């Protein structure tokens, strides 16, 4: 997991305004943002779907729409384990957490697809 995680760590705070979070998602062309405290410890996750739903309902605070029970990945887990977790929970991305519960990145279904394509190309498939 650590080898294919996204390089830039883009995060949100639970007190962030929905509009600001939406802009961050668009500007970085991403669909998931880990929500962290001041020590970079995971509090939740928000997706572009969560933001669209919040806007539709007139919600303005991220804390009210973020998912607080988050499925995570550990830095040292094999990618195939993460792929099965993504499939089992029908989600599209996981925050990568270290042993201190600090967010180190994100891994998405797209990241795993790119890895498989790169491996297949390398192997001539």
Q: What is the pLDDT of residues 31-68, one digit of tens each?
A: 999 999 999 999 999 999 999 999 999 998 899 999 99
Specify the pLDDT at position 9.
84
Tokens of 91: 């989600």
Percent of the chain exceeding pLDDT 90 equals: 65
pLDDT digits (tens, 9 = 90+) for 107-121: 988 888 877 776 666
pTM, entire model: 0.83
CB within 8 A of 89, min separation 6: which ones? 71
For the chain, give me the number of helices (H) and strands (E)?
4, 5
């Amino acid at each position: 997991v650590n080898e294919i995680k996204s390089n830039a760590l883009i995060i949100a705070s639970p007190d962030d305004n929905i509009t600001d979070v939406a802009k961050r998602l668009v500007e970085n062309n991403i669909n998931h943002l880990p929500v962290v405290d001041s020590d970079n410890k995971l509090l939740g996750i928000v997706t572009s779907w969560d933001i669209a739903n919040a806007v539709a309902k007139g919600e303005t605070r991220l804390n009210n729409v973020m998912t607080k029970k988050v499925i995570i990945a550990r830095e040292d887990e094999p990618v195939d384990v993460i792929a099965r977790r993504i499939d089992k929970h029908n989600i599209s991305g996981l925050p990568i957490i270290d042993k201190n519960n600090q967010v180190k990145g994100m891994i998405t279904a797209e990241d795993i697809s790119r890895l498989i394509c790169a491996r297949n190309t390398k192997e001539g498939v």
